[in-house]
Structure 1
Amino acid sequence: MSRRRRIGVAGVVAIALVATAAGCSKGEDQVPSIGYAIDNVLTTYNANTVDGAASGARQAFARVLPGLSYLGPEGRALADGDVGTVTAQPGDGLSLLYKVNPNAVYSDGVPVTCDDLVLAWAAGSGRFTGPDQAPLFHAASRAGYSDIDRVECRPGTKDATVVFRPGRAFAEWRALFGATELMPAHVAARAAGVPDVVTALQGEDTAAAARVAAFWNTGWNLTEGELDPAVFPSAGPYRAQSYSAEDGLVLVANDKWWGNRPATDRIVVWPKGVDLEEKMASGDVDVLDVGAGSIDGFDPGKGFSTVHEPSRSSEQLVLATGGVLGSADARRALASCVPRQQLFDTLGHPGYAPQSGLGSGVLNSRIVQADTLLYPPVAAVAGDRYLRADTGAASAALSASGQGPITVRVGYLAPDARRAATVAAIAAACSPAGITVQDNGSADFTPSALAAGKVDAVLGGTASAQGAAGADSLVPPAYSLAEGEGSNFGQFRNGRVTEIAGKLAVETGYDRQLGLATEAENILWSEMPSIPLFNEPRTTAFADGMHAAVPNPTAAGAGWNMDRWILLR
């Protein structure tokens, strides 16, 4: 039976009252539960860990764990006044005053405080390391947070002053402490046996930080069944109620939410792995947000409005810097036989053909967005190189690497028809050069397999993400190539590229950005830690009768405003 038909009559009546207030016409009833399908797995509540950032956590929990901002459809951070405010303070360096909404409280009754900001900063700062100097917190990115000198916060209060290091005025500060980045510090403190997480982290108590980090890294992992409200409290319009393969991730209205009540009381998030055709036919899925062409032969068809569009995620091959691809010559050999133009022509722009900007051609920059003024001169670095398969160049580069025939294992989250076709096309083009390309896509794949040596390349989006990804920013793609970053799955090391990533984080002038990005691309096309292909195409489908649903081809996905969704039948 459809999940929608299992909702009780009382729930239907309650929701119908909301629909009436929203102005539904006579004869239309509001559907009490909306199904939302994404093309990524759900393994953790914490979207900030290395594996969490590559998962679907950002799409699922943006309205469960909101922050001081959210990622809008244009890819820019927009202020979320329900959670609080941030104001830049006068002075020589960058200093920000954060004021958390006085009414903000978690679903377990514990207030949202500046403690949560301190935990987010500590986790992303890279400041806390173990005896081997490895970061205690397995954060996906340190961008912005590593630039913070200190967070001034009196434990349990609502205000915090965030002071940046001299010369490190992070240009995109409005995006800090955003949706899914504020985790409940009181839960981590309790689990770690740390009475006061603020004092411990501000005082750089390594032993206490290690216990907090151990929980932050894995303590919010998802397992099937009811989700303990004491471990998974919400600070948003929805709270996570349960999670299972059969029933999906069930989000229900949070009665402690202080803002506008969700327009629909129940959202079910269906992760990758469910039978989408069956779920849509049964009425369990009303919103679909997946990679275009990822489901072989699938068309939402009648009853849905469908949009195909380019995203801000850069479809790419992220390469290992060890093993058979340990030398730049070997990586250039692979790049020489990858038919990038063919891949774009056949897989890169389904259902649309813009003349410029996103989705208009082969992607020739790893860092700069294709719809910016910076893109044409930066992309010109690539010239006409590496557009079409060149067997001679690939063979010569492979020989220069000192290797004979090699096998390159390409991993991605399967099933994915478009990525399978991508690997097949690369395999056919590279075989004559002595490079066997092997499809290692799997249903349990994570980009961490690259660092572990289980694959030689990841086929994915920006920062190796397997589902929705990307923003209108230079920072995430640049930092995914910086040494020591969790999202640098290929473990690429180049001191100058790392330095440039740091400079791009604080630089706002066009000329300086142009010079830095151009220099970086010159290095990257030589060292070849990744091979950019095209802006990842996305497909978003909404059931007929859906109101307030808007595609968001960024890391946020279509669920960015799920609390406003209304479905009328």
Structure 2
Amino acid sequence: MRLPRRGHRPGIRARRVVAALTAAIVAAGLGAGCTSESQVPSIGYATDAVISSYNGGTTVGWASGSPAVFGRVLTGFFYTGPDGQQVADTDVGTAKEVPGEAQTIQYRLSPDGVYSDGIATSCDDLVFTWAARSGRFTRDGAPLFDSASTAGYEDIERIDCEPGSKDATVVFRPGRRYVPWRTLFAAGELMPAHVATQATGVANLIGAVRTGELVALGKLADFWNTGWTMTPGALDASRFPSAGPYRIGSYSESEGLVLVANERWWGAKPETGRIVVWPKGTDLAAKIGDNAVGVIDIGAGSVPELPLDGFSASTIPGRGAEQLVLSTGGVFAGVQPRRALAACVPRKALFDSLGSVPERPERGIGSAMLNAHIVQQDSLFYEAATGAAQKYATVDPNVKAGELTVRIGYRTPDARRAATVRAIADSCRAAGITVVDAGAPDFQPTRLAEGAVDAVLGGTAAATGPAGASTEVAAMSALRTGNGSNVGRFGNGRFDAITDQLAADNASASQLGLLTEAENLLWSELPSIPLFATPRLIAFGTGLRNGVAGPTQGGTGWNMDRWRLTR
């Protein structure tokens, strides 16, 4: 079996997953070398991501799972590996921290880097991404850019970049340090600045950012927010150039999202020239029956009774945190109703029936119900920092909420999440809480902020599909005041300060104290109710080589350019 991509070696957890999932694949691959089997020119990839935006940095793009679909289309300096770790993508360029009074990162894009439309990659793309995600540009007090998260980007003081250059020096604010800087300018985050300037007529993007020229920035923001929206049908190809091994070929409901080899890609040529992505809502059983799917990565139990005889399949705990994200307005404007709901949610029963995987690990991710909002289950700090969760370890039969109706929204169809809502409704009825299933096929987590629902059932940061990483960045961002992914509109100054400190200080003693304080605060305020590590069904068709499970925000498609299928 070939290494997954560019010599990357999976970590310990990934190796366990590989052992469980790829033994049959290796055997099939060895057999293929001794028979007349030929390579299949197209591989179907089924995911529960929702393809609604090319831009994974927007609130909608992030929640829909764009990073799991476009990670090998819009590449970055780092990508999310199968363990949830940040891995350097040296095809794109290099990034290194350099000594200095202020934290400074030097980025150098590959001299061969060019978009599929022939325009060279440049530091303009970094400046555009920073401008969009820094949170510093506002109009009437509201952010111009609808960014899912400003984490890390808001701490950047400036980017030294000459228009069109391959070099950029990123300088952080004085006295400010951002430890997880490798999460910045990553796969799915670097958007093509030249597309935005052409569409808006703003010729000097870098100048507009430097001077804070609001008219120009407003035009750029409008495009960044909605200019890369995707709906099935005809797409204006000029707006969707690629800087990865694949580019968009077409997108339709009947044919899926077709990714084809990018002829201008300067790295290793993809093993397979065509990948067809089948998003959430696809009749997956029918596609499997038509032999149109070679890789599956979906929430376990979300699609029942799949015919998987021709697959090597396994259910494994994911990095995403299955949770209820609660509104802090409407029926949940006060903390007491949120506490009443938490007291009747059967968290352990939900884990036992819907969140536990067949080969449950003894410790770490997926070993028990989730007792943390931001701390990873495999963190050394997990047990010590999560004592406050014990108050909600079991259902309190004495809790009474009066007459309270709670509408829980999620993206349908999803059999597991529907069962979750039913179980919560049954358990909370005695407390006087009426739970309404508000799932819908077009549901977006932003409906929580709009007041259309009272809670969202989803993954980390309310994500519909693949979610989670080895850092706590997304989880913390989703609870930080003002961030787009904070769909419940929770705001707490002390929590914001804690996240600032956590990002700047990685000393163990400091981390333990801060994480414990954060969890105590969150279990008191309850902006969300953690349930369990989201179980993922990941399956590879017989004859699929180089498939490595990625139960993270990057999805199993993290190395799709290395997939090869023979039949």
TM-score by length of 1: 0.93
Question: Contact 1:147 / 1:164 at 8 angstroms: preserved in 2?
Answer: yes
Cα distance in structure 2, aligned partners of 1:24 and 1:83: 33
Match of 2:492 in 1: 494
Match of 1:197 in 2: 205
Cα distance in structure 1, aligned partners of 2:46 and 2:372: 31
Cα distance in structure 2, aligned partners of 1:125 and 1:166: 16
Match of 2:368 in 1: 361
Question: Contact 2:386 / 2:520 at 8 angstroms: preserved in 1?
Answer: no
Cα distance in structure 2, aligned partners of 1:518 and 1:135: 31
User: SS of the counterpart of 1:225?
Assistant: coil
Which of these residues, 106, 109, 127, is aligned with residue 97 of structure 1?
106
Match of 1:347 in 2: 354
Cα distance in structure 1, aligned partners of 2:560 and 2:209: 34
Which of these residues, 507, 510, 517, is aligned with residue 508 of structure 2?
510
Cα distance in structure 2, aligned partners of 1:282 and 1:134: 49
Which of these residues, 62, 80, 94, is aligned with residue 89 of structure 2?
80
Question: Contact 2:357 / 2:366 at 8 angstroms: preserved in 1?
Answer: no
Mapped pair 1:157 → 2:157: no
Number of matched pairs = 538
Match of 1:474 in 2: 472
Deviation at 1:382, TM superposition (A): 1.8
Question: Contact 1:356 / 1:371 at 8 angstroms: preserved in 2?
Answer: yes
Deviation string, structure 1 residues 380-418 (Cα, Å, up to 9, x no partner): 2222x11222131x21xx3xxxxx301000000011111
Deviation at 1:63, TM superposition (A): 0.5
Match of 2:542 in 1: 544
Mapped pair 1:269 → 2:277: yes
Which of these residues, 22, 40, 50, is aligned with residue 31 of structure 1?
40
Cα distance in structure 2, aligned partners of 1:150 and 1:300: 53
Deviation at 1:281, TM superposition (A): 0.8
Match of 1:10 in 2: none
- CA distance 1:361–1:534, change in 2 (3 Å): same
Cα distance in structure 1, aligned partners of 2:34 and 2:484: 50
User: SS of the counterpart of 2:392?
Assistant: coil
Deviation at 1:211, TM superposition (A): 0.3
Deviation at 1:207, TM superposition (A): 1.1
Structure 2 unaligned runs (5+)?
Answer: 1-28
Cα distance in structure 1, aligned partners of 2:518 and 2:44: 43
Cα distance in structure 2, aligned partners of 1:231 and 1:38: 24
Deviation string, structure 1 residues 87-122 (Cα, Å, up to 9, x no partner): 111112210111000000000000000000001111
Cα distance in structure 2, aligned partners of 1:199 and 1:307: 51
Cα distance in structure 2, aligned partners of 1:117 and 1:343: 43
- The aligned amino acid for 1:321 is T
Cα distance in structure 1, aligned partners of 2:412 and 2:537: 17
Cα distance in structure 2, aligned partners of 1:285 and 1:168: 47
Which of these residues, 181, 184, 192, is aligned with residue 192 of structure 2?
184
User: SS of the counterpart of 1:43?
Assistant: coil
TM-score by length of 2: 0.93
Which of these residues, 271, 286, 294, is aligned with residue 278 of structure 1?
286
Cα distance in structure 1, aligned partners of 2:285 and 2:67: 24
Deviation string, structure 1 residues 180-228 (Cα, Å, up to 9, x no partner): 1000000001111101111111221111111000000000111223432
User: SS of the counterpart of 1:358?
Assistant: coil
The correspondence of residues 27-66 of structure 1 with structure 2, limited to 5 A, is 27-66=36-75
RMSD (Å) for aligned C-alpha atoms: 1.3
- The aligned amino acid for 2:466 is A
Mapped pair 1:376 → 2:383: yes
Question: Contact 1:226 / 1:241 at 8 angstroms: preserved in 2?
Answer: no
Match of 1:391 in 2: 397
Q: Which protein, 1 or 2, shows the higher relative CO under an 8 Å CA cutoff with sep ≥ 6?
A: 2
Deviation string, structure 1 residues 132-164 (Cα, Å, up to 9, x no partner): 211101000001100100011000110000000
Instruction: Give the 4+ runs in structure 1 shifted more than 4 A.
Output: none
Deviation string, structure 1 residues 412-435 (Cα, Å, up to 9, x no partner): 001111111110000001001110
Question: Contact 2:317 / 2:357 at 8 angstroms: preserved in 1?
Answer: no
Which of these residues, 285, 305, 309, is aligned with residue 312 of structure 2?
305
Deviation string, structure 1 residues 163-186 (Cα, Å, up to 9, x no partner): 001222111111210001000000
Cα distance in structure 2, aligned partners of 1:160 and 1:271: 36
Cα distance in structure 2, aligned partners of 1:224 and 1:390: 47
- CA distance 1:486–1:234, change in 2 (3 Å): same
Which of these residues, 237, 259, 264, is aligned with residue 245 of structure 2?
237
Match of 1:484 in 2: 482
Cα distance in structure 1, aligned partners of 2:96 and 2:312: 40
Deviation at 1:23, TM superposition (A): 8.5
User: SS of the counterpart of 1:420?
Assistant: helix
Which of these residues, 455, 458, 476, is aligned with residue 457 of structure 1?
455
Question: Contact 2:408 / 2:437 at 8 angstroms: preserved in 1?
Answer: yes
User: SS of the counterpart of 1:351?
Assistant: coil
Cα distance in structure 2, aligned partners of 1:352 and 1:325: 37
Question: Contact 1:389 / 1:430 at 8 angstroms: preserved in 2?
Answer: no
Cα distance in structure 2, aligned partners of 1:174 and 1:266: 30
Question: Contact 2:176 / 2:504 at 8 angstroms: preserved in 1?
Answer: yes
Structure 1 unaligned runs (5+)?
Answer: 1-19, 399-403
Deviation at 1:242, TM superposition (A): 0.8
* Same amino acid, percent of matched pairs: 54
Deviation at 1:69, TM superposition (A): 0.6
Question: Contact 1:479 / 1:498 at 8 angstroms: preserved in 2?
Answer: no
Cα distance in structure 2, aligned partners of 1:85 and 1:249: 30
Match of 2:258 in 1: 250
Question: Contact 1:300 / 1:541 at 8 angstroms: preserved in 2?
Answer: no
- The aligned amino acid for 2:208 is A
Match of 1:121 in 2: 130
User: SS of the counterpart of 2:336?
Assistant: helix
Task: Tell which deviates more after alignment, 501-510 or 359-368.
Answer: 501-510
Match of 2:233 in 1: 225
Cα distance in structure 2, aligned partners of 1:24 and 1:275: 33
Mapped pair 1:566 → 2:564: yes
Mapped pair 1:335 → 2:342: yes
- The aligned amino acid for 1:111 is A
Task: Tell which deviates more after alignment, 193-202 or 266-275.
Answer: 193-202
Task: Tell which deviates more after alignment, 441-450 or 196-205.
Answer: 196-205
Match of 2:423 in 1: 425
Task: Tell which deviates more after alignment, 27-36 or 521-530.
Answer: 521-530
Deviation at 1:25, TM superposition (A): 3.7
- The aligned amino acid for 2:552 is T
Deviation at 1:307, TM superposition (A): 1.6
User: SS of the counterpart of 1:250?
Assistant: strand
- The aligned amino acid for 1:390 is D
- The aligned amino acid for 1:299 is L
Cα distance in structure 1, aligned partners of 2:483 and 2:496: 10
Question: Contact 2:407 / 2:455 at 8 angstroms: preserved in 1?
Answer: yes
Question: Contact 1:338 / 1:389 at 8 angstroms: preserved in 2?
Answer: yes
- The aligned amino acid for 1:323 is G
User: SS of the counterpart of 2:558?
Assistant: helix
